[in-house]
Amino acid sequence: MDDELVNNVWLDEIDFIPDPAAKQRALEEFALYLNPQKVRVMRSAGLDIIEAQRSGPWVWDLDGRRFLDCFTSAGSFNVGRRNPRIVAAAHQAIDHLDHGNFLLCSEQKAELARRLAELAPGNLSCTMFGTGGGEAIDFAIKLARGATRRPKIISTLNGYHGHTGFALSAAGRAAFREPFEPLMTQFERVPFGDIDALVREIDDSTAAVLLEPIQGEGGIIVAPDGYLAAVRAECDRVGALLILDEIQTGLGRTGKWWASEHYGVVPDIMTVAKSLGGSLFSISATIFTEELREFLIPNPFIHLSTFGGSDVACAVALEVLNVIEDTGLVEHAAAMGELLFARLRAIAEENPSYIREVRGLGLMVGVEYVEDSLGPRMSYHLAQHGVLAIYSGNQPSVMRLMPSLVIEEPQVEYLIDAFRSALADLKEGQGPSESPTRAKRRPVRS
Ligand SMILES: Cc1ncc(COP(=O)(O)O)c(C=O)c1O
């Protein structure tokens, strides 16, 4: 396989028979057997999309409409959807392997862990595999508490780490936690980017500080200059560990392998998930130092996961790392990110009464509108113009643009054209007059 494969967008035309009736049936059954409110919200948001064909940066729905996927399941499709190399690796794995026996040692797990050790920053060289991001965070927190024998975990307001037990306890949004309280004790939250707040909270009972280097769900909030280094120094001062959640930011998304590299900071524990599965299999990894592995020596079976790092998923993940490396996808993401930023900033300058800021790193881009309701409304209009883009869960005024890293210049221009058309429709007052999620709407100055 050569670079051309990844530098093409693969299928760029429809390869199936659209079936609007099947779409309606799926939505009805989804409402009956899964979640009627989700169907209502998606319909009114213009996002009642049932995915059919998927290829590279594109997705087609059952109606036959094509979208440039700029949501990518919150950064899960860095190598593109159904990348031919990943599909071939998956076929090969399925022909010979299965999940594997979690209790035994495994060739595939060992090889993937070695590759992750080679790629991870600094001295992170040991891995525990899981099935998803939440599980990776859960283990990171267990390891931090187990290794330090300290109870306190400090995370950030508006941070997002998943919905499993420890991860949910660290969630930065109260609405996710409150129905399930009491959750785990001794979880504290501080504002992201505010080192003084961290200094006030951190002490010698702190096991770890848990952060996303760039808050994703929080609204693409980039760490201010010097912040991560200062957090690292505070952790070192009190003997706490630094956990960096690279589940959205990792694997080339920000134009470096890991976002921490932008800041020259090496964590003690790093979590990776989403794109590691190459859009085909679920797999996550908690990567940590050899020193921390000491905790597992007397406790080799203290954390188990039947499907975590299945042999098939490890084989696929290995090919994901190969594709990123030998197609230069990290550098490519940086170049496409620069182009996208330049184009979006020009639109923002022309439209200051709609767009407050464009920010991010590489292909992790946030467009902050001047008010909350514009996020959902622009999602609606962008969908009408063939772009799937969703606003941030914890910050509806911010639209996340996180396309596959295989995106090329023509797709960047396609996105920019769609953005301009969507904004024009919004100005003309087309589409839903208020946020489909009922975010409070204030008048927009034109
Ligand atoms: C930064 C971050 N951490 C953790 C998670 C949780 O991952 P998962 O949904 O696979 O449990 C997510 C999911 O969006 C995430 O964005």
- Asked whether the predicted pLDDT for residue 438 surpasses 70, the reply is no
In a domain, 434, yes or no: no
- Asked whether the predicted pLDDT for residue 249 surpasses 50, the reply is yes
Same domain assignment for residues 319 and 358 = no
User: Which of 80, 69, 75 minimizes the C-alpha distance to 10?
Assistant: 80
Which of these three, 284, 310, 326, is where a domain ends? 326
Same domain assignment for residues 106 and 122 = yes
- Structural domains of the chain, count: 2
In a domain, 444, yes or no: no
What range does the domain containing 22 cover? 3-75+328-427
Residue 421, domain CATH:
3.90.1150.10
Same domain assignment for residues 61 and 114 = no
In a domain, 128, yes or no: yes
Per-residue pLDDT, averaged over 22-47, amounts to 96
271 C-alpha to ligand 1 centroid (Å): 10
Choose one of 161, 214, 249 to mutate for the ligand 1 pocket test, by most ligand atoms within 8 angstroms of C-beta.
161
User: Residue 166: its pLDDT value, please?
Assistant: 96
User: Residue 15: its pLDDT value, please?
Assistant: 82
Per-residue pLDDT, averaged over 196-221, amounts to 98
Choose one of 212, 274, 392, 395 to mutate for the ligand 1 pocket test, by most ligand atoms within 8 angstroms of C-beta.
274
What tens digit of pLDDT does each residue of 90-132 get? 999 999 999 999 999 999 999 999 999 999 999 999 999 999 9
Residue 258, domain CATH:
3.40.640.10
Same domain assignment for residues 214 and 273 = yes
Residue 373 and residue 53: Cα distance in Å, rounded?
Answer: 31
User: Residue 71: its pLDDT value, please?
Assistant: 98
User: Residue 430: its pLDDT value, please?
Assistant: 77
Shortest-distance atom of ligand 1 to CA 137: 4
134 C-alpha to ligand 1 centroid (Å): 6
User: Residue 358: its pLDDT value, please?
Assistant: 98
Computed over every residue of the chain, the mean pLDDT equals 94
Shortest-distance atom of ligand 1 to CA 246: 1
Per-residue pLDDT, averaged over 431-435, amounts to 61
Same domain assignment for residues 7 and 119 = no
pLDDT band at 159 (very low <50, low <70, confident <90, very high): very high
Q: What angle do CA 159, 209, 366 make, to 5 degrees?
A: 30
In a domain, 443, yes or no: no
51 C-alpha to ligand 1 centroid (Å): 21
User: Residue 439: its pLDDT value, please?
Assistant: 39
In a domain, 32, yes or no: yes
- Asked whether the predicted pLDDT for residue 436 surpasses 70, the reply is no
Same domain assignment for residues 300 and 254 = yes
- Asked whether the predicted pLDDT for residue 234 surpasses 70, the reply is yes
Closest C-alpha to ligand 1, atom 7? 133
Same domain assignment for residues 89 and 69 = no
Q: What pTM, to 2 d.p., does this model score?
A: 0.94
pLDDT band at 444 (very low <50, low <70, confident <90, very high): very low
- Asked whether the predicted pLDDT for residue 26 surpasses 80, the reply is yes
In the block, tokens 């037990």 appear at: 165
76 C-alpha to ligand 1 centroid (Å): 10
User: Residue 427: its pLDDT value, please?
Assistant: 95
User: Residue 385: its pLDDT value, please?
Assistant: 96
Which of these three, 326, 342, 357, is where a domain ends? 326
344 C-alpha to ligand 1 centroid (Å): 26
pLDDT band at 235 (very low <50, low <70, confident <90, very high): very high
Same domain assignment for residues 109 and 223 = yes
User: Which of 225, 216, 108 minimizes the C-alpha distance to 161?
Assistant: 216
Same domain assignment for residues 144 and 288 = yes
User: Residue 8: its pLDDT value, please?
Assistant: 55
228 C-alpha to ligand 1 centroid (Å): 20
145 C-alpha to ligand 1 centroid (Å): 21
In a domain, 432, yes or no: no
In a domain, 446, yes or no: no
In the sheet that holds 355-361, the strands lie side by side as 355-361, 364-369, 395-401, 390-392
22 C-alpha to ligand 1 centroid (Å): 30
- Asked whether the predicted pLDDT for residue 410 surpasses 80, the reply is yes
User: Residue 434: its pLDDT value, please?
Assistant: 54
Which of these three, 264, 298, 326, is where a domain ends? 326
Q: How many Cβ atoms sit within 10 Å of the Cβ of residue 34?
A: 9
Same domain assignment for residues 131 and 116 = yes
Same domain assignment for residues 413 and 292 = no
In a domain, 151, yes or no: yes
Task: Check if the beta carbon of residue 172 is closer than 8 Å to that of residue 197.
Answer: no
Task: Check if the beta carbon of residue 242 is closer than 8 Å to that of residue 381.
Answer: no
Shortest-distance atom of ligand 1 to CA 212: 1
240 C-alpha to ligand 1 centroid (Å): 23
Distances (CA, A) of 295 to 145, 242, 289, 438: 10, 16, 11, 48
User: Residue 215: its pLDDT value, please?
Assistant: 97
Counted residue by residue, the chain has a size of: 446
428 C-alpha to ligand 1 centroid (Å): 36
Shortest-distance atom of ligand 1 to CA 134: 11
| Ligand 1 binding site (Cβ under 6 Å of any ligand atom) | 74, 132-134, 137, 160-162, 212, 216-217, 245, 247-248, 273
Q: Half-sphere exposure of 424 toward its Cβ, with a 13 Å CA cutoff?
A: 8
User: Residue 290: its pLDDT value, please?
Assistant: 98
Choose one of 139, 160, 246, 390 to mutate for the ligand 1 pocket test, by most ligand atoms within 8 angstroms of C-beta.
160
What tens digit of pLDDT does each residue of 291-344 get? 999 999 999 999 999 999 999 999 999 999 999 999 999 999 999 999 999 999
Same domain assignment for residues 310 and 361 = no
User: Residue 446: its pLDDT value, please?
Assistant: 27
User: Residue 440: its pLDDT value, please?
Assistant: 38
